[in-house]
């Protein structure tokens, strides 16, 4: 049972102090557990702390209280076991697609031939087998994000963290990426934490959707989604869940939110 736990956050706190605004408690008493193979979506309005939580799990930020563990070991800093897919892709524009996927492997000490093999395998997985030699600046936004996903997966991470990865894509590209991400999740059995503020995205992707609201103590709520995949966002069950999730979040937003975006 214990072996199944990938990420566990206990009594997590994060507050920011600024001169003019005083102390802003972004995260208070957050308890979250991610099991092997989970696809957890964190959703909430701006300022709810979902990105802060993701950054803490990734090791980019430190909590002011509580503990974060990945595979039972406390998080001390960023590393390839906690691979992140960034909203702005964060690729290295002077390298081609394959080199972007390879660079993480090179830093892990993987040999030249092996890392080329692994890079090509993951580029194929995200549908970019044909574009390995293309400089990334010549790729479209959707393709760049695929490279970024391939780069993260090639690290064989314990947990895959995704910070609004499809926010910059148009609705049609986003729909395609959603289907492919679900496919990738199934084939790789990855454990994913995905941050978004889109209800539809959350309900389409996650098997658990966790809601957060600004200024709240603890998480606002969680919905387990058992809808069969591929899910149809136009279906009645989907729409009903969307209503439920929307109400859950809005019921907890104070009328005059004094919190501010991180």
Site string for other proteins, 3-42 (x = CB under 8 A): ----------------------------------------
Q: Is the peptide bond before 244 cis (omega within 30 degrees of 0)?
A: no
Q: Is 62 in the site for other proteins (CB under 8 A)?
A: no
Q: Is 167 in the site for other proteins (CB under 8 A)?
A: no
Phi, psi of 210 (to 5 degrees): -110, 125
Site string for other proteins, 64-103 (x = CB under 8 A): -------------xxxx-xxx-x---x-xxx--------x
Of 57 and 245, the one with the shorter C-beta distance to other proteins is 57
- Nearest distance from residue 220's CB to other proteins, in Å? 27
Of 7 and 83, the one with the shorter C-beta distance to other proteins is 83
Which residues of the chain form contacts with other proteins (CB under 8 A)? 58-60, 77-80, 82-84, 86, 90, 92-94, 103-104, 107-108, 135, 137-138, 151, 155
């Amino acid at each position: 049972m214990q072996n199944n736990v990938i990420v566990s956050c206990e009594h997590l706190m994060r507050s920011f102090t600024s001169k003019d605004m005083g102390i802003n408690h972004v995260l208070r008493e957050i308890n979250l557990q991610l099991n092997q193979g989970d696809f957890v979506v964190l959703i909430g309005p701006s300022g709810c702390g979902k990105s802060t939580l993701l950054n803490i799990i990734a090791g980019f930020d430190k909590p002011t209280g509580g503990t974060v563990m990945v595979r039972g070991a406390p998080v001390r800093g960023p590393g390839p076991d906690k691979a992140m897919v960034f909203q702005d892709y964060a690729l290295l524009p002077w390298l081609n697609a394959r080199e972007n996927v390879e660079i993480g492997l090179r830093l892990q000490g993987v040999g030249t031939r092996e890392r080329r093999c692994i890079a090509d395998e993951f580029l194929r997985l995200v549908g970019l087998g044909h574009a390995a030699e293309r400089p990334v600046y010549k790729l479209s936004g959707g393709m760049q994000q695929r490279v970024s996903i391939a780069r993260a997966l090639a690290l064989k991470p314990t947990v895959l963290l995704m910070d609004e990865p499809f926010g910059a894509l148009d609705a049609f590209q986003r729909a395609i990426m959603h289907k492919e991400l679900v496919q990738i999740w199934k084939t790789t059995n990855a454990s994913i934490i995905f941050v978004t503020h889109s209800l539809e995205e959350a309900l389409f992707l996650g098997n658990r959707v966790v809601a957060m609201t600004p200024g709240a103590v603890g998480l606002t709520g969680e919905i387990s989604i058992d809808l069969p995949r591929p899910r149809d966002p136009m279906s009645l069950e989907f729409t009903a869940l969307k209503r439920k999730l929307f109400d859950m979040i809005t019921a907890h937003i104070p009328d005059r939110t004094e919190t501010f975006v991180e």
